[in-house]
Amino acid sequence: MSNENLRFSPDGEPRKIFVDIDETICFFPNKRLYDLAEPSHENIAKINKLYAEGNIITYWTARGSSQPDNKERLSQYRELTLKQLKEWGCKFHFLELGNKPQFDLFIDDKAKRIEEI
């Protein structure tokens, strides 16, 4: 399959790609404190390339998922996360937070680790 064919879903539409944030495009030096997250510019470049190829990029994070009904807290997480994504040069269409289930392992036929991109 050529790289050109990977840009579109089976129905010919641009692919919708969901990307985790923490431990995917940023990492933590010690404790998981979101305001101390350090970007991985190499990984961000991989996602930006997918964006440039015409894919629909949604960053989907568990930030705020432990308190999904706390609107003020979700707003703070959203503000911080949008600021970080902008500062890090991330290109994307959508940001989803507060609705990602917490899990230890995600198994899916369409899943890839950032190292595989």
Q: Count the domains in the chain.
A: 1
* Domain residue limits at 55: 14-101
Bigger pLDDT: 108 vs 81: 81
Determine, yes or no, domain membership for 48.
yes
Put the strands of the sheet holding 94-97 in their side by side order: 16-19, 56-61, 94-97
Of 69 and 18, more confident: 18
Residue 20 in tokens: 């985790």
The pLDDT of residue 71 is above 90: no
Structure tokens at 57: 């990029």
Q: For position 2, what pLDDT does the model report?
A: 38
Residue predicted with more confidence, 111 or 19: 19
Provide the token pair at 117: 């991109």
The CATH number of residue 75's host domain is 3.40.50.1000
Q: Alpha carbon of 29 to those of 18, 39, 101: distances in Å?
A: 25, 11, 24
Residue 116 placed within a domain: no
Q: Is residue 3 part of a domain?
A: no
